[in-house]
Structure 1
Amino acid sequence: MSQETKTFVVTRFDPDKDEVPKTQSYEIPVEGDWKILDALNYIKDEVDPTLSHRWSCRMAVCGSCGMNVNGEPKLTCKDPVSNYGDTVEVAPLSNFPVVRDLVVELEGFMEKFKAVKPWIVVAKERAVEEGTTRQSPDELADFKQFSMCINCMLCYAACPVVSNEPDFIGPAALALGHRYNQDTRDEGAPERNEIFRDEGGVFSCSFANECSEVCPKKVNPAGAIQQAKLRNVLDWAASFVVKRGGKES
């Protein structure tokens, strides 16, 4: 297997020692089939055990290993080293507080995530003897794409609104909320739409489409947000329809 040498310029930050982040360079041998995560693991295991970075499955499923590579948000377990030249810059995801080195704080994201009620809301629990709620393939297709999110946060790092508007709920959370609004088994759309219409909701989105461009699972959060905008505008317009004689006119 082919082997060459590359220099990785990695952002380092120790909150106990550093006031601001700095960079450290590592010149290492790389294999031809390596991903960026393989290089970071090599540095951690063979060169500098003090390096901190987050990863888990190495299969583009868990979403843990998102980082900025040469300034672009990437899922490092599927980003080939061969895509880059002799020098590769690796930094923590933008728009998140840094815990240490390449590890970012996710608490703020999780609060926004929970705010959109990303679960099926029902007014009354279904009796066991009634069986499961049936759903057709066409009904599933209405939201399946938006259910593929792995919470890698690449969309938050890429989003220009997140960087300028801290209260913006953000692409992944809004797309997931829309996913449940589209689910025929769910009854929570009125609650979610109140959140969507509030400050930091769907109308804060400027439709830059950067979130969909970087999404490794092709979830298209930008598209989900535009659909949610349309749904809320239509609901708003419908609220002005005057009812006469029990009929809308």
Structure 2
Amino acid sequence: MTATTAEPTTGSHDTSQIPAPEGSVTITVKILRFNPELDTDPHWESYDVPALPTDRVLNLLTNIKSYVDGTLSFRRSCAHGICGSDAMQINGINRLACKVLVKDLLAKKGKPTTVSVAPIKGLTTMKDLYVDMEPFFEAYRAVKPYLIAYGNEPTRERIQSAADRERFDDTTKCILCAACTSSCPVYWSDGSYFGPAAIVNAHRFIFDSRDEGSEERLDILNDAEGVWRCRTTFNCTDACPRGIQVTKAIQEVKRALMFKRV
């Protein structure tokens, strides 16, 4: 089940144990909680958390887990916007929790600030804020996201010009966070769609001058669940924390299929 359809019932918690550094403000963090061992449906729970304007949403979640409720579950790793593991919906928008600053979420002076946090859509919620990523990675693996070269192994590195590298440079930035794919309405309604991230990673090799597997990938993406399912809503581009022009990459793959020219 995807934990984004529940009615907003709210529970409150004692957060007095969380340290309140000088200059902190109180943020109400509403988290969509779901424990498959206890709950039949997701539900909202609220936490009043002291936070500095320079804190990130990930800091708030870590403090809640450390000082208030150790059962809160979410993914994180590097906490620097590189690993992509902490993608979630923050105020209804797909973002990395480690990149969203509290100061960018603060309400106008005199008004309380509430931040809602929920798991990304389109993937089954395992517990609280983390989802089953296997369907996402299955689509990623299906497009053969690696260099394919035939013939004898070269005796030196495969040389590439700066211009050839620039052709696909943008799509090398993907960190597989699933923010783009889980922002796509087509993916929400049809989980068999490859999704933007898989197409981005196919693009990265389709347009690589050293690669010889472009035709194979284009044939894979010419499927009914491939690039033609894209409706060009630009949700994916807006959601990408790395600034990749995802919609543009998808259109370039479409053109390569239409004209059979890479």
TM-score (ref. length: structure 2): 0.87
1:187 matched residue in structure 2: 212
Give the one of 83, 87, 96 matched to 1:66: 87
Matched, 1:75 2:100: no
**Which of 26, 37, 47 is residue 26 of structure 1 equivalent to?**
47
- Amino acid across the alignment from 1:40: L
Q: Residues 48 and 227 of structure 1: is their aligned pair in 2 closer, same or farther, counting only changes over 3 Å?
A: same
Amino acid at match of 1:100: K
Give the Cα–Cα distance (whole angstroms) in 2 for the partners of residues 161 and 99 of structure 1. 22
| Residues in 2 aligned to 1:115 and 1:168: alpha-carbon distance in whole angstroms | 12
- Counterpart of 1:159 (choices 171, 184, 207) is 184
Q: For residue 84 of structure 2, give the secondary structure of its aligned residue in structure 1.
A: coil
Structure 2, unmatched stretches of 5+, are 1-21, 108-112
Conserved 8 A contact 1:75-1:216: yes
Residue 110 of structure 1 corresponds to: 137
Quote the offset at 1:133 in angstroms: 0.6
Q: Does structure 2 conserve the Cα–Cα contact (< 8 Å) formed by 1:12 and 1:22?
A: yes
Partner of 1:11, secondary structure, is strand
Question: Match of 2:202?
Answer: 177
Q: Secondary structure at the match of 2:217?
A: helix
* Aligned residue in 2 for 1:15: 36
Q: Given the two structures, how large is their TM-score scaled by the length of structure 1?
A: 0.91
Gaps of 5+ in 1: 237-249
What SS class does the counterpart of residue 154 from structure 1 fall into?
coil
- Paired letter, 2:181: Y
* CA pair 99-125 structure 1, distance change in 2 beyond 3 A: farther
Task: Give the percent of matched residue pairs that are identical in Structure 1 and Structure 2.
Answer: 35
CA contact (8 A) 1:196 1:202 kept: yes
Change (3 A) 1:27 1:230: same
Listed as ranges, the matches of 1:1-249 within 5 Å are 2-84=23-105, 85=107, 86-127=113-154, 130-235=155-260
**Displacement of 1:157:** 1.9
1:134-156 residue CA offsets vs partner (Å, 9 max, x unmatched):
00111100001101000111102
**Shift, 1:125, TM fit:** 4.2
Q: Is the 8 A contact 1:167 1:199 kept in 2?
A: no
In the aligned structure 1, how far is the partner of 2:152 from the partner of 2:63? 51
SS across alignment from 2:260: helix
1:241 alignment partner in structure 2: none
* Higher helix residue share: 1
1:22-44 deviation line (CA, Å, top 9, x unaligned)? 11111111112100000000101
Give the root-mean-square deviation of aligned CA atoms: 1.1
